Structures are given as C-alpha cells and as structure tokens.
Amino acid sequence: MDPVDPVAAAFDATPRRDFLPRGVRFRASYDGPLGIAAGQTNSQPRTVEAMLRLLDVRPGQRILDVGAGSGWTTALLAHLVGPAGEVLGLELEPELVEFGGRNLAGVDRPWASIRLAAPGVLGDPGGAPYDRVLVSAEPDELPQDLVDQLADDGVLVIPVAGTMLRVRNPGGVVTSHGRYRFVPLR
Ligand SMILES: C[S@@+](CC[C@H](N)C(=O)[O-])C[C@H]1O[C@@H](n2cnc3c(N)ncnc32)[C@H](O)[C@@H]1O
C-alpha cells in the first residue's frame, strides 16, 4: 500500500470550490489565482501545494497563517495538524475575515480560527512561538518580526521579492525555492 501523503489528503478533504465566491466556483479547477474580495485572491493551487510541502507540517503543531484570505490555507493547515494542533489565520481585510471564517466553519475544524490582524502588528508576537508560519503575501524583504515568532525548530515559508524562501530554525537558515508572484504584504 502507498504511504499516505498528508498534503494530498489535505487537498482531497478541503475542496477549493468551497473557499471561492459563488460567481467563480466554476473556475475552481483553474491552476491560477482567483479573485475573492477587496482586490485579494485565493492562491494558485500548485503554489499552495509547493508551500505546504516546504512547510513540512506535523500533527499537533501550532501554526500561524498570515494572509488567510478565503480561509483555504487555514483549513488545509488545520487538516495537516489535526485536532491536537492549532491554526491561527490572520487577515487584514475585515470583509475577508468574515468570508474566510464562514468558509472555514464549513469544514468543521474548530482547532482553527481566523482573526483580524492588528493594525501595525505583523503576525502574532503575543501568541509566539509558532512551530510553522505560512505567509501568503509578499514583502520586499524578509521580515525579522516573523522570524522572531518561530519556535526553536520552527519553519517559516514566505515569498520575498518574487522568490519563495524557507527559513528553518535553529539558526534561521534561509533557502530559496523558485520564483512566485503574490499580492503585497502590508
Ligand atoms: C493571496 S491572498 C489570500 C491567500 C489565502 N491564503 C487563500 O488561500 O485564500 C493574501 C492575503 O494576505 C492579506 N494580507 C496582506 N498583508 C497582511 C498582513 N500584514 N497581515 C495579514 N494579512 C495580510 C491580504 O489581505 C490577502 O487577503
């Protein structure tokens, strides 16, 4: 029997169409970003998969999902950590906090939640350290504030100035993983 691929299982259990506005659900199988609201997007599935594989999530971990948007990545991460884990999605747009929260409620993973990001505060310094941090919006430089929110053996995956970076503790070792485009991290 094939070993279970946790990332593939998370995608199977978390259909993208349930995280899209009604008007674009028919495009759920399109492998590109799709508009949700407030000028923001539900990310390209292939990119989300690549990021989740880099993140290397384990059951029971605490995860921070910066840029929760449609709630899709928050729900995928919730599947990966399982009920012993915890996922906090942060989103700057109030309209998307509501949209993503509603979508997330549909998959019944109460160990995950989405919260409005505090203005001027990047990530969740008060809730740190996190085992894994996923960022789905792009800054020009690697934000030290987010690196500082990683646990001693934590991993951060973030697109920076067009390149996907993985930051691994101990030591904050940075590796590059290809070119990608994202909406700006604000
Ligand atoms: C590519 S979109 C959504 C991706 C999302 N993970 C999904 O699957 O739908 C990135 C989101 O990051 C949000 N964002 C940008 N800067 C942010 C910040 N500093 N804190 C929290 N969210 C932020 C944007 O409002 C946008 O909704």
Measured from the Cα of 185, ligand 1's closest atom is 16
Measured from the Cα of 93, ligand 1's closest atom is 25
pLDDT at 1 over 70: no
The residues, any chain, with a CB within 8 Å of residue 118's CB and separated by 6 or more, are: none
Query: For the chain, what percent of residues have pLDDT higher than 70?
Result: 99
Which residue puts its alpha carbon closest to atom 3 of ligand 1?
A: 69
* Ligand 1 probe mutation, 91, 132, 140, most atoms within 8 A of CB: 91
pTM, full prediction: 0.97
Query: For the chain, what percent of residues have pLDDT higher than 90?
Result: 96
- Contacts from 43-51 at CB under 8 Å and sequence distance 24+? 43/69, 43/72, 43/73, 43/136, 43/182, 45/11, 45/16, 47/180, 48/72, 48/73, 48/76, 49/7, 49/11, 50/164, 50/177, 50/178, 51/134, 51/136, 51/157, 51/164
Active site residue 43: yes
pLDDT of residue 2: 57
User: Tens digit of pLDDT for each residue in 49-84?
Assistant: 999 999 999 999 999 999 999 999 999 999 999 999
